[in-house]
Amino acid sequence: MSLLEVTDASVRFGGLTAVDGLGFSVEAGEIVGLIGPNGAGKTTTFNMLVGLARAAEGTIRLDGRPLAGLRPHSIAALGMTKTFQNVSLFMESSVLDNVVTGALLREPLAEAKASARRVLERVGLAGVAERPAADLSFPERARVEIARGLATRPKILLLDEVMAALTPAEMEGIVALVRQLRDEGITFVLIEHHMRAVMTLSDRILVLSFGRKIAEGRPEEVARDPKVIEAYLGREWAAEGAGPGQARP
Amino acid sequence: MQLLQALVDGLLIGGVYGVVSIGLSLVFGVMNIVNFAHAAFLMLGMFVAWFAWAFLGLDPLLGAFLSFVLVFAFGCAVQQVLVRPILAAPQVAQIFLTVGLLIVLENAALMAFGADFRSVQTPYQTSAFRLGGIIVSKPYLYAFAMALLSGAAVWAFLERTAVGRAMRATAQDPMAATLMGIDTQRMHRLAFGVGVGLTAFGGAVILPYLTVSPTVGSHYVVLMFTAVVLGGLGSVAGAVVGGIAVGVIQSVSALVFPIQLQNLVLFVVFILVLALRPDGIVRRRGA
Amino acid sequence: MSALSLPKRCSALARPRALLLAALAAAAAIVPLFLDPQGYWVRVLTLTLIFAALGQAWNIVGGLANQISLGHAAYFGVGAYASTILLINFGLSPWIGLFVGMALAVVVALVLSVPTFRLKGHYFALATLAAGEALRVIANSWQGVTGGPVGLSVPFMPDSFWMMSYGAPRPFYWIALAALVLVTLVFWWIKSSALGYRLRAVKENEQAAEVVGVNTFRAKLWASLVSAAATAAIGVVYVQFTYFFDPDAVFGVATVSVRLALVAIVGGIGTVIGPVVGALVVVPLEELVNAALQGQVAGLSAFVYGAILIAVILVEPRGLVALFGRLRRGLGRRPGGAGEAGR
């Protein structure tokens, strides 16, 4: 049994079908990349998984348990949470308090504070623990997002573009962190526009276009898939004859 | 027959509710502010019409135009001085600014005009048309007609004039409107002025069958909000439909419940509508 | 439950503030000894304490969770009516009536939570406003029990602590002070507990809070129940103090709902000291205006508090506490820096 199983799931907003009959599964310990052009439904897919958007059809199972009708906090308690693409920290609270809020899911306040500090240490933010989240730079905020998610002790953590606006060195840091965490048993699905990062990090890639899965496979397979090059990379890349594996930073 | 009578009364009263609620919806649509003081402008309009009747001998149906003009100007000033600074403020500030405005206007009126209930005398006040067994009260009918007229005028203004279109553009996408060269601040001022002016107009046309006092607005607060929420906050046509629905609910529920509980029915409808309508939840665009 | 477990230790920063508040409370307790026990000022200060306590109760939902309620009169009036009706009909002590009132307010809050908790901002304010008004209509029309629009009088009794009945206002001053201290402690405790973290998360980003495991509905519900119960209890003290009330006095929007939120907002929404500062400014000012004109100009005191509300929001929406802070920093540094403190 896979850790996460999505079968024929669709999400609709009014007349718009943002996710259309999507099916995929994620094995425990995997790192799966979710890519696709803007508006392909990647973030909506994440929202559907964590319970922010309702799947009109289909089933989602976490550890074999159907998630239909569960609110996001229950899904977090079952072990799946996400970071936000547009960074949704509690801006007026300190970095530590942000992470404590996540840690409170599993333990009482005193212990949650201790765990939160450990998590901040882990992601390299111990030095700014007492600062208001609003004071941080964007790369730091992305790390706080990850820390807050980690503090909930997820089995599977969904990362929505945590590497946007990062320098290559900072990106290396996140890549290393995700690998380490995976080795400790956390499963990841990540949405990332930065091709090199997502290609090197992922064991497997899913490609979405217009809410549908158009390709799935190992990074190098996906990068060669003509459908992907056409739908996702479009004219620009097709003309240069380059696959996403050789994408520029 | 009783039910039919109630429906007719409800329709006639509700038409006015609709028109006084348009402004509330317009202001919300254009600047995303719920104006808790809206009903106080209705009261101001009624007072203007009352004074116009008492000192100029003007029938309130005509005084209504004076109400509109004066309250429109006042509304523009209020928008400029009080509302504009808090457009970007947290919601708690927006809510309590307009609540404060409600209290100030009501009590200013109380100080200026006293707590007396004032009414006007018109030749048609107590007369009615009879259609079969149904009584159609003339003041109700005239108020309804004037309300519809003003509602149509606003609709035409929004749909057919350049300024009206600019205002709708501002409501839809302030950023794009600014880029198109629309002076959004002016649009806000105008929308607020037209919104409260229209309410004042509605207040004036119902004066022939009601009395005015500084606290008359408090009877309308929940009514208006119910009308607007029923029709969808921000929608002008919705406000009219919602207003008529409120009038009908009110007069029909009076057949079943004692008069004091009339508003209770409305409050319950209001809370249920808020809770059940998805629009009642702050809309977030899915990414 | 774990959400309400006591914080194990105060942070280093909180301790001096706790001492300061304790000293303030002690000082406040001896103030009436220097005032005429029958006098005007004891009465005004008692009202001030009552509204400070109410503002603090509102602060639990309004300040911590940013749920802007315009319907707290519902709880206030339920407490007032419950205890007075029990007192009149069964001679029950208001202290017992107080618990009955709290229980009923909790029931009302539970019932209201279902339709209102999905709402945000303006919509929540509107729904709570309508809820408070609905109870006012009920109180006005259910004449057999509530006395209808005529209102109820608390029966006259000899001085007695057990019956919460005193001819002079001074004992009520102490009861109100005790209420304020209690509600403030509850507020503080919630603020620094796990529930406080969850409420801050709800306030700042409800969706994100849910996704990282905060049961936002339950957090808001706890805050709302505690706030409702406290408001009802203070409602009992208030009517014992004023002897007489009608539906408009205890279920009114302007008289109660807005005024108690105003107290918190003028002082500083979400802060421990805010409602106290707010009440100290708003209530005596209103009374002074009334006294100066001997009530000749109807509406002036309400006009004044509406004007204060508008002024505070335009100058510093975070209230006087933030304004003082701004001024102090502004004096120490460049004056231009103050603007950045605004949002």
Q: What is the pLDDT of residue A47?
A: 93
Please give the residue range of the domain that contains residue B180: 12-217
The CATH class given to the C2-252 domain equals mainly alpha
Kindly list the domain boundaries of chain C, sorted by start residue.
2-252
**B284 pLDDT higher than 70:** no
Q: What is the pLDDT of residue C2?
A: 42
Residue B239 or C343, more confident: B239
Residue A224 or A29, more confident: A29
Count: domains in chain A: 2
pLDDT digit string, tens, across residues B120-147 = 888 887 787 888 778 888 888 888 888 8
We report the CATH number of the domain holding residue A212 as 3.40.50.300
Confidence grade of residue C27 (pLDDT, cut at 50, 70, 90): confident
Query: Is residue A164 domain-resident?
Result: yes
For residues A164 and A147, membership in a common domain is answered with: no
For residues A113 and A5, membership in a common domain is answered with: no
Q: For chain B, say whether A43 makes contact (Cβ under 8 Å).
A: yes
Instruction: Compare all CA atoms of chain B with the CA of A53 and give the residue at the minimum distance.
Output: B286
Query: Is residue A244 domain-resident?
Result: no
Query: Is residue A34 domain-resident?
Result: yes
**Assembly ipTM:** 0.88
In angstroms, the separation between the Cα of residue C194 and the nearest Cα of chain A is: 6
Give B-chain residues touching C300 at CB under 8 angstroms.
107, 111
For residues A215 and A183, membership in a common domain is answered with: yes
Among B37-51, C15-29, C119-133, which range has the highest average pLDDT? B37-51
Crossing angle between the packed helical segments B91-113 and B38-56, to the nearest 10 degrees: 20
Q: For chain C, say whether B215 makes contact (Cβ under 8 Å).
A: no
Residues C250-279, mean pLDDT to the nearest whole number? 88
Dist. CA B37–CA B100, nearest whole Å: 8
Query: Is residue A243 domain-resident?
Result: no
CB–CB of B287 and A86 under 8 A? yes
For residues A116 and A16, membership in a common domain is answered with: no
Q: What is the pLDDT of residue C296?
A: 67
**Mean per-residue pLDDT of chain A:** 87
Query: Is residue A167 domain-resident?
Result: yes
**C187 pLDDT higher than 70:** yes
**C120 pLDDT higher than 90:** no
Strands A204-209 and A212-217: antiparallel
Q: Which of A130, A153, A176 marks a domain boundary?
A: A153
pLDDT digit string, tens, across residues B153-202 = 888 888 888 888 888 888 888 788 888 888 888 888 988 999 999 999 99
pLDDT digit string, tens, across residues A74-130 = 999 999 999 998 778 888 889 999 999 999 999 999 999 999 999 999 888 989 989
Q: What is the pLDDT of residue A60?
A: 94
Q: What is the pLDDT of residue C94?
A: 92
Give me the residues paired with residue A57 across strands: A10
**C333 pLDDT higher than 60:** no
Give C-chain residues touching A92 at CB under 8 angstroms.
200, 204
**B287 pLDDT higher than 70:** no
Query: Is residue A238 domain-resident?
Result: no
Confidence grade of residue A33 (pLDDT, cut at 50, 70, 90): very high
Q: What is the pLDDT of residue C8?
A: 40
In angstroms, the separation between the Cα of residue B267 and the nearest Cα of chain A is: 29
For residues A53 and A98, membership in a common domain is answered with: no
Confidence grade of residue A239 (pLDDT, cut at 50, 70, 90): very low
The A residues from 98 to 157 touching B (CB cutoff 8 Å) are none
Give B-chain residues touching C116 at CB under 8 angstroms.
271, 274-275
Q: What is the pLDDT of residue A234?
A: 60
Q: What is the pLDDT of residue A233?
A: 59
Count: domains in chain B: 1
**B286 pLDDT higher than 50:** no
Query: Is residue A209 domain-resident?
Result: yes
Q: What is the pLDDT of residue C62?
A: 92
Confidence grade of residue C114 (pLDDT, cut at 50, 70, 90): confident
CB–CB of C208 and A84 under 8 A? yes
For residues A142 and A190, membership in a common domain is answered with: no
Quickly tell me which residue has 């649509």 as its tokens.
B29
Closest in C121, C131, C310 to B271, CB measured: C131
Question: Partners for B (CB, 8 Å, 3+ pairs)?
Answer: A, C
Is the Cβ–Cβ distance between A84 and A148 less than 8 Å? no
**C330 pLDDT higher than 60:** yes
**Mean per-residue pLDDT of chain B:** 84
CB–CB of B287 and A13 under 8 A? no
Tokens at B52, concatenated? 């116009």
CB–CB of C119 and B275 under 8 A? yes
pLDDT digit string, tens, across residues C147-185 = 888 888 888 888 888 888 888 888 899 999 999 999 999
For residues A99 and A5, membership in a common domain is answered with: no
Instruction: Compare all CA atoms of chain A with the CA of C212 and give the residue at the minimum distance.
Output: A102
Could you give the percent of chain B with pLDDT greater than 70? 96
Report DSSP letters for C133-195, one per residue: HHHHHHHHH-HHHH-GGG-EEPPP--SBTTTTB-SSSHHHHHHHHHHHHHHHHHHHHHHHSHH
Residues B43-67, mean pLDDT to the nearest whole number? 90
Q: Which of A153, A173, A198 marks a domain boundary?
A: A153
CB–CB of B264 and C138 under 8 A? yes
Residues B247-259, mean pLDDT to the nearest whole number? 83
Maximum alpha-carbon separation in chain C: 65
Interface test with B, best of C58, C114, C118, C126 (most B CBs within 10 A): C126
Query: Is residue A72 domain-resident?
Result: yes
- Supply the pTM of this predicted model: 0.86
CA angle B146, B149, B154 (to 5 degrees): 125
Dist. CA B212–CA B113, nearest whole Å: 10
Please give the residue range of the domain that contains residue A57: 1-79+157-227
pLDDT digit string, tens, across residues A142-201 = 889 999 999 999 999 999 988 887 888 888 888 999 999 999 999 999 998 888 888 889
Confidence grade of residue C295 (pLDDT, cut at 50, 70, 90): low
Chain centre to alpha carbon of residue C157: 28
For residues A46 and A163, membership in a common domain is answered with: yes
